[in-house]
Amino acid sequence: MRHLEDFPDAHLRIFDRPPPPDPSAVKSVYLVGICGKGMGALAELLVQAGYAVRGSDEAAYPPMSTRLAEAGIPVDEGFSAENLARARPDLVVVGNAAVPTHPEATYARERGLVQLSFPEALAHFFLRGRRSLVVAGTHGKTTTTGMLVHVFREAGLDPGFLVGGVLAGLGATAAVGSGPHFIVEGDEYDAAYFDKRPKMLHYRPTSAVVTSMEFDHADIYADWDDYREAFVTFAGLVSEGGLLALHGDDPEVRALAAHSGGRVHFYGLEGHDDSVSARDIRAGEGGQRFTLVQGGEALGEVFLPLGGRYNVLNALAACALALDEGLGFEAIAGGLATFRGMRRRQEVAGEAAGVLVVDDFAHHPTAVAGTVEGVRERWRDRLRSGRLVAVFEPRSNSSRRKVFEARYGEAFDAADRVFLSTPPLRHNDDAADFLDPEAVAARVAARGVPASAHPGAAELLGPLLDTLRPGDLVLVMSNGSFDGLVGKLLAALRERENAPVTP
């Protein structure tokens, strides 16, 4: 984890921040960078809790702009010191995209306004007096958090929650809730320009899960040791008497047991000392079934309407916390069976001209490989005759890194055809630090899967359409909008479907 003293502009990052007042003394909150996923969810929570909320962002666009408008939250488009001068809020929440010279961050700092980072604000307003259940890990944390929320809600417990994705069916990313629990996704990315600690270190876990550990976020972590240290620190935060549920099949995660102040349970598919495990896993069309085992005793059969071994592990993580919080097997199994997943996680976007289009957020090599394999399992009957066509955009600062180039070359083995998009270099990027999509495509092809790289979504769409035929499944993976590729692809397929047949 980087220290503020190590930055060349440390004099702008280290300053005295006034302590935040008690939540009851706050009336108005202003969010700088309100259209980010986490910030937008926090804004909705604050409105639900009765605060006057507004904020700003460089460009407000759907879906977050729509969600904020529906919640009655005004958004100032563009950043300016005048925004804060006009709003005069009791509290400013500064998103982690703001740099020290950001005009609104500068105004708040120079005038001594009360300000918090996003995770600090979440903890200050919503985690006090609650049983904070935190789901952390390199992979699977969004889906695991969503599963846990859904299981608790279906059991009638009405938890508060904040998750880095939208629960399909519920259409929500956050809720204050009336129950004793608050379930939160523990992100290891940094908090703010004045606080470089990972967000998850702010969440005061009563109990927690760590799903996996693998080097990620190369833009903020120097190396693997640096990344590991963040999770070691997190493990030590679990309160005495609380539970730290660890994926026991992952040696790095298992090693965190030595650093916990709470109870430790392992879950997994391979260990003999797992408190929670699964046996008799049977994949099929529409999902998979398994027997849930606790302490060596079979509790019963679970149906999970998601594909992939990694989703069984996600479900076991959710089960470990739910069982420890007193939920019974029937309630847990019932919740998992009706879990519709998270939007953009194996989400069916539509079908046209005989082609099924599936949208997914995967962007790390391990997540890409697991998603491709999971989709093949989930739609195994369809893919006996059709092809799995994978389309991938390495968009995030971390996913574009050179360090992952070889790994991506091995991530598409379960696909039948691969299309890669070349992300544009940004103004402060050094091309030598980022992967070469042509090289990745060559690696994929050398492993027996035809692959090609294209300058962007627009250039990729035509060749993709030329390739597709009825019975195929297209899996589109990006942690961004991919320039609207999913929508454009479906529109083009529908046009093909409705085109008159030429005699």
Query: What is the pTM assigned to this prediction?
Result: 0.77
Question: Quick check: 327 and 333 in contact, CB under 8 A?
Answer: no
pLDDT, mean of residues 142-170 = 90
CA 127 to chain CA centroid, Å, is: 20
Structural domain spans, the chain: 15-122, 129-337, 347-498
- Work out the mean pLDDT of the chain and round it to a whole number: 89
Answer whether residue 235 shows pLDDT above 90.
yes
Lowest mean pLDDT among 150-164, 244-258, 277-291, 314-328: 277-291
Give strand pairing partners of 287.
Answer: 284
Q: What is the tens place of the pLDDT at every residue in 450-495?
A: 999 888 888 898 999 999 999 999 999 887 778 888 899 999 999 8
* Structural tokens at position 92: 């400013």
Lowest mean pLDDT among 31-35, 264-268, 280-284, 489-493: 280-284
* Structural tokens at position 501: 């047949």
pLDDT, mean of residues 215-220 = 74
pLDDT band at residue 399 under the 50/70/90 scheme: low
Question: Quick check: 142 and 163 in contact, CB under 8 A?
Answer: yes
pLDDT higher for 377 or 13?
13
User: How far apart (Å, rounded) are the C-alpha atoms in residues 104 and 95?
Assistant: 11
Burial of 300 (0-12, 13-18, 19+ CB in 10 A): exposed
Answer whether residue 14 shows pLDDT above 70.
yes
Choose among 384, 416, 380, 168: nearest CA to 282.
Answer: 380
Answer whether residue 144 shows pLDDT above 90.
yes
pLDDT higher for 431 or 336?
336
* Residue appearing with tokens 């492993």: 447
H-assigned helices in 205-294: 224-235, 251-254
Q: What is the tens place of the pLDDT at every residue in 403-417?
A: 677 788 888 999 999
Architecture of domain 129-337 in this structure: 3-Layer(aba) Sandwich (3.40)
| In the chain, % of residues over pLDDT 90 | 58
Output the pLDDT for position 172.
Answer: 82
Q: What is the tens place of the pLDDT at every residue in 177-200?
A: 999 999 999 988 899 999 999 999
Amino acid at 435: L
pLDDT higher for 158 or 375?
158
Choose among 353, 424, 346: nearest CA to 390.
Answer: 346
Q: Residue 136, CB half-sphere, CA atoms under 13 Å: how many?
A: 35
User: How far apart (Å, rounded) are the C-alpha atoms in residues 395 and 352?
Assistant: 27
Q: What is the tens place of the pLDDT at every residue in 342-359?
A: 767 778 889 999 999 999
Output the pLDDT for position 61.
Answer: 61
**CATH topology assigned to domain 15-122:** Rossmann fold (3.40.50)
Question: Quick check: 134 and 208 in contact, CB under 8 A?
Answer: yes
* Structural tokens at position 275: 């408190």
pLDDT, mean of residues 69-82 = 90
User: Most confidently modeled of 119-133, 436-450, 479-493?
Assistant: 119-133
Output the pLDDT for position 35.
Answer: 87
Output the pLDDT for position 274.
Answer: 87
Please give the CATH number for the structural domain made up of 347-498: 3.90.190.20
Answer whether residue 326 shows pLDDT above 70.
yes
Answer whether residue 297 shows pLDDT above 90.
yes
* Structural tokens at position 344: 């953009």
* Structural tokens at position 494: 């529908």
Output the pLDDT for position 267.
Answer: 96
